[in-house]
């Protein structure tokens, strides 16, 4: 196998075949890590601006003077989680992911951010379905049922309307958002990543549940297409 391309792992999961690949970008001489679900690209380390912005924008909205407790829904390649840990106000980070393989890849250090995430005493991984946990009063921390958080940042589906699993749809409706809000401290922040431009209907849905809601666009250069690409971070305050 050439060092220019390598499949690092392959797993069968409840939502399809999952593979982790590393390829060398000859133009930049940088290793690119990619996760695919079947033939569909889930994420790539080549474009991380909006994943990082999800953490920065979300935490900037948190006004608490207390140490901040954060949930990240969707571990992925770890860029949102890493950015959360860069913030000195963060006392704890709970990362929830339904794909055990993704957690394993970080713990086994197959992914570049795995060593720093697993070494941090502030960070713990929870293997579980974020959407199902959100719908329960027990919430996201098995060790402390009912625990509330200052920020819940989610990057799982492609957008509120383009889902990895049709079962996730209820989360984006008023009742699902209301259940999510119950896991936040007063004044806590919900942040959501989307691969699409802002959806006014979803922003209005957020505004009907939360005290305030808005959509922030994140635009970055896409050298593969020779143009710019825009994604969205939704922000809502309980």
Which H or E run contains 216?
Answer: strand 212-222
φ, ψ (nearest 5 deg) of residue 118: -75, -25
CB under 8 Å to 82, separation ≥6 — which residues? 113, 116, 117
**How much is the pLDDT for 212?**
97
Which H or E run contains 189?
Answer: strand 184-194
**How much is the pLDDT for 2?**
52
Give mean pLDDT in consecutive 10-residue pieces for the chain, a chain of 238 residues. 82 91 88 92 92 98 94 98 98 97 97 98 98 98 98 97 95 98 98 97 98 96 79 97
**How much is the pLDDT for 179?**
98
Structure tokens at 60: 């900037």
Domain covering 48-237: architecture: 3-Layer(aba) Sandwich (3.40)
Query: Distance between CA atoms of 152 and 94, rounded to whole angstroms?
Result: 9
CB under 8 Å to 40, separation ≥6 — which residues? none
Radius of gyration of the chain (CA): 17
What is the SS3 assignment for 28-65?
CCEEEEEEEECCEEEEECCCCHHHHHHHHHHHHCCCCC
**How much is the pLDDT for 224?**
66
Residue 14 buriedness (CB in 10 A; 0-12 / 13-18 / 19+): exposed
- Total residues belonging to the chain: 238
Q: For the segment 51-104, what is each residue's pLDDT rounded down to a tens digit?
A: 999 999 999 999 988 999 999 999 999 999 999 999 999 999 999 999 999 999
pTM over cut 0.85? yes
């Amino acid at each position: 196998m050439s060092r220019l391309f390598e499949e690092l792992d392959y797993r069968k999961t409840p939502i399809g075949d999952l593979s982790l690949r590393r390829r060398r970008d000859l133009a930049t001489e940088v290793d690119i890590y990619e996760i695919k679900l079947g033939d569909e690209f889930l994420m790539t380390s080549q474009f991380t601006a909006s994943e990082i912005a999800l953490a920065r924008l979300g935490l900037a909205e948190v006004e608490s003077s207390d140490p901040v407790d954060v949930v990240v829904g969707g571990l992925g390649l770890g860029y949102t989680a890493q950015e959360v840990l860069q913030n000195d106000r963060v006392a704890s980070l709970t990362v929830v992911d339904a794909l055990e393989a993704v957690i394993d890849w970080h713990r086994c250090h197959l992914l570049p951010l795995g060593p720093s995430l697993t070494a941090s005493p502030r960070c713990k991984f929870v293997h579980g379905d974020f959407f199902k946990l959100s719908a329960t009063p027990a919430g996201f921390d098995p060790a402390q049922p009912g625990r509330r958080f200052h920020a819940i940042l989610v990057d799982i589906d492609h957008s509120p309307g383009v889902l990895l699993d049709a079962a996730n749809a209820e989360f984006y409706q008023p009742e699902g958002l209301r259940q999510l809000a119950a896991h936040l401290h007063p004044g806590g922040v919900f942040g959501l990543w989307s691969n699409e431009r802002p959806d006014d209907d979803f922003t209005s849905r957020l505004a009907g549940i939360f005290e305030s809601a808005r959509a922030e666009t994140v635009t970055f250069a896409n050298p593969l297409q020779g143009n710019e690409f825009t994604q969205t971070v939704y922000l809502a305050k309980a």
